């Protein structure tokens, strides 16, 4: 088992005081995680020692930077158990990865009257790109419903597959409910129905071991900033046959093999989808984050989060007037969203912040799911490898303070 107290020393941000007096209790890792010193050092070292543009120069700095950049791609491929690193495209984030598929695959291969199957628990990033494409091409969208306990209705999913969707897209883990979906089984069923499958892995890859090739999804997307890495860099995994059949997403340097006055020939994958100067330092920081997580151990991280989540669920479930959204602690990842009777989540978050506790308040980029749950907004606490039982105790004490401020205890 990992020692979260020891790991916190690797993260400089935990040395600061919030509002000059309170130790930071960071419970917002589902939005973005904190960064260990090893990631900051890797990026600084590039800029101070080996910085140059990549893939284009033959001088020593360019070759060093290129090697570091491509080495990160190989590290990330191994991290998610993908044998061919060329199937990993660097993007800005999960959102851009999904938009890339919608624009470069969907525009080319979907036509009027085709169907897409999504779910009611999706993040906006896995909804809006498909809405845009549907409006443009006359595509129909169906939704797998969320049941009372927060799980997807698998019987209804099977029924909707009978409508022969061309694409099925769903999240690996809900960023609101913490539900971990049975990706391998759902992917197999979707493939049997003839669909291409895209999985949003933004909340899964950072938190537990993931083998993309075992899951057999056609596309899989995730971001570095949720897994101890920098912002502005993400990954789209795609099966080689699909990526090679797709047209480029953007035009410009590095995605071309040849340009004439008559036209152009695109580069091979993955470079066909990496136009322009990429986020070089961020990619190298991404690789350092993978090194860090590998050193800690993904199974150890998952086991630790399960302990923290179980403890938090039990503690919060005892708070009068608090209702947890979604299933039991044993059936979720490290995310707990809740309502506090009579108090708006923004007020909850603001008072918690005064005590040095960072949580998320609002709809967490999942407005349709909140509408389905008949909840206008919620407060979310999310956990990671650096969180402790003391963090949970501070959260519970902070919520009790919120209730005292609003005079809502016992009502």
- Which residues does the annotation mark as catalytic? 365
State the Cα–Cα distance between residues 144 and 154, nearest whole angstrom: 8
CA dihedral of residues 173, 212, 280, 37 (deg, nearest 10) = 60
275 to each of 4, 249, 254, 377, 402, how far by Cα in Å? 40, 8, 5, 38, 49
State the Cα–Cα distance between residues 329 and 313, nearest whole angstrom: 6
E-only strand ranges, 52-100? 88-91
Instruction: Determine contact, residues 114/168, Cβ cutoff 8 Å.
Output: no
382 to each of 176, 207, 401, how far by Cα in Å? 9, 11, 20
CA 324 vs. chain centroid, Å, equals 22
State the Cα–Cα distance between residues 388 and 408, nearest whole angstrom: 28
CA dihedral of residues 194, 198, 204, 206 (deg, nearest 10) = 140
Phi-psi region of 292 (alpha: psi -120 to 50; beta: other; left: phi over 0): alpha
Residue 118 belongs to what H/E stretch? strand 115-119
CA 181 vs. chain centroid, Å, equals 14
State the Cα–Cα distance between residues 218 and 244, nearest whole angstrom: 13
Residue that is written with structure tokens 């995994």 in the block? 237
Cα dihedral sign, 319-313-150-403: positive
State the Cα–Cα distance between residues 136 and 114, nearest whole angstrom: 12
């Amino acid at each position: 088992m990992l020692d979260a107290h020891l790991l916190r020393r690797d993260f400089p941000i935990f040395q600061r005081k919030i509002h000059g007096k309170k130790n930071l209790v960071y419970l917002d890792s589902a939005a973005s995680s904190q960064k260990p010193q090893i990631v900051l050092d890797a990026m600084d070292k590039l800029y101070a020692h080996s910085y140059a543009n990549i893939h284009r120069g033959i001088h020593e700095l360019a070759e060093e930077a290129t090697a570091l950049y491509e080495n990160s791609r190989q590290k990330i491929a191994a991290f998610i158990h993908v044998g061919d690193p060329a199937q990993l495209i660097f993007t800005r984030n999960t959102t851009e990865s999904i938009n890339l598929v919608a624009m470069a695959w969907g525009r080319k291969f979907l036509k009027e009257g085709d169907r897409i199957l999504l779910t009611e628990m999706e993040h906006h990033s896995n909804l809006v790109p498909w809405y845009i494409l549907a409006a443009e091409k006359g595509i129909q969208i169906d939704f797998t419903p969320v049941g009372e306990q927060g799980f997807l209705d698998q019987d209804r999913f099977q029924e909707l597959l009978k409508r022969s969707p061309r694409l099925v897209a769903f999240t690996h883990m809900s960023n609101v409910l913490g539900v971990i979906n049975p990706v391998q089984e759902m992917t197999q069923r979707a493939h049997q129905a003839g669909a291409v499958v895209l999985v949003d892995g933004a909340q899964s890859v950072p938190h537990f071991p993931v083998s993309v090739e075992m899951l057999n999804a056609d596309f899989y997307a995730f971001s570095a900033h949720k897994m101890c890495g920098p912002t502005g860099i993400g990954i789209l995994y795609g099966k080689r046959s699909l990526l090679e059949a797709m047209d480029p997403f953007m035009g410009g340097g590095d995605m071309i093999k040849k340009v004439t006055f008559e036209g152009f020939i695109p580069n091979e994958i993955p470079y066909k989808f990496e136009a322009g100067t990429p986020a070089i330092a961020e990619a190298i920081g991404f690789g350092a984050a993978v090194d860090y997580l590998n050193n800690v151990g993904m199974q150890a991280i998952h086991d630790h989060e399960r302990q923290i989540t179980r403890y938090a669920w039990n503690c919060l479930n005892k708070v009068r007037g608090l209702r947890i959204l979604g299933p039991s602690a044993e059936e979720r990842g490290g995310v707990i969203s809740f309502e506090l009777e009579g108090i708006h989540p923004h007020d909850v978050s603001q008072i918690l912040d005064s005590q040095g506790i960072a949580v998320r308040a609002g709809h967490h980029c999942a407005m349709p799911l909140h509408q389905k749950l008949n909840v206008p907004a919620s407060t979310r606490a999310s956990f990671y490898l650096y969180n402790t039982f003391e963090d949970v105790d501070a959260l519970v004490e902070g919520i009790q303070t919120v209730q005292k401020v609003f005079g809502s205890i016992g009502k």
